[in-house]
Amino acid sequence: MIGIGATSPGAEGDPGSRGTCGCSESRIAQRKQVYAACARSAARASGNTVFICFILALASNSVGAQTCFNACFKPKLVDTNIDDNRIRAIMRSCRDTCEEDAERRLSLSGRSEKLLHCLPEPISTEEFRRVRSASPSFVAFANTFTWDVHNVLTGKVIKRVEAITQNLALEDVVLGGGVTIAPGETETLFIPAFFDGYPQMRVSTRIKAIYACPLQ
């Protein structure tokens, strides 16, 4: 079943707080239409219906130029009968390819050596708010989590993001994923094996923390 999480940069600016949506009124209306259509058909959805809902969710979440991950991932979803396992395999492959590309660009810029011995640390609350506000809402689908993260921190490279969701016992679970996002760049965070909870509880999914390494 498809699950789409939208959280407000304003409400979620403090790590651990919760919100519902953080975008323009037109985008809010667009997403509500997509989500409502998917919700109405979820109980009786065929593989094709869920697949189409996922594509619409990605389209409604796009802002500006595509990230490396999305440019790699979307063209490969050509079969409407594709199953969740295949989708996850494509996601992992695109994540690996784009992470290598991001590391290569950082190396070519001459800044990678500064990160060799860095242990990423949580960014400040003010920095968290800035990154969260500059990044669109995340998408949870097929037990995966993706979020297009825009790094607005001029002196730091984002290396890890953690999100909170709930398990079947409705207990909070923290799951994270590694990523390399240089200042001014946007990359897609991918967290595999992400349990997105009961449909009515997906509002609980939120960004918990962002970790980065300084370039100084």
8 A C-beta contact, residue 138 and residue 21:
no
Distance CA 94, CA 100 (A): 10
| Mean pLDDT to the nearest integer, 173-196 | 91
Is 50 exceeded by the pLDDT of residue 21?
A: no
Which pLDDT score, from 0 to 100, does residue 42 have? Answer: 44
Which pLDDT score, from 0 to 100, does residue 19 have? Answer: 36
Percent of the chain with pLDDT over 90: 38
Mean of pLDDT over the chain: 76
Distance CA 107, CA 58 (A): 30
Torsion sign over Cα 2, 166, 207, 68 = negative
Which pLDDT score, from 0 to 100, does residue 18 have? Answer: 38
8 A C-beta contact, residue 8 and residue 22:
yes
| Mean pLDDT to the nearest integer, 134-159 | 91
| Mean pLDDT to the nearest integer, 85-104 | 92
Instruction: For residue 146, count CB atoms less than 10 angstroms from its CB and return exposed for 0-12, middle for 13-18, buried for 19 or more.
Output: buried
Higher-scoring residue by pLDDT: 169, 2: 169
Lowest-pLDDT range of 59-68, 82-91, 104-113:
59-68
| Mean pLDDT to the nearest integer, 75-102 | 87
Tell me, rounded to whole angstroms, the distance of Cα 121 from its chain centroid. Answer: 19
Residue 108 has a CB neighbour count (10 Å cut-off) of 9
Is 60 exceeded by the pLDDT of residue 14?
A: no
The angle formed by the CA atoms of residues 123, 11 and 61, to the nearest 5 degrees, is 85
- Helix, strand, coil percentages (3-state) for the chain, rounded to 5, are 40, 25, 35
Higher-scoring residue by pLDDT: 193, 52: 193
Distance CA 94, CA 208 (A): 24
Look up residue 35 and give its two tokens: 């989500």
- pLDDT class of 167 with cuts at 50, 70, 90: confident
61-83 residue pLDDT tens: 554 568 999 999 888 877 777 78
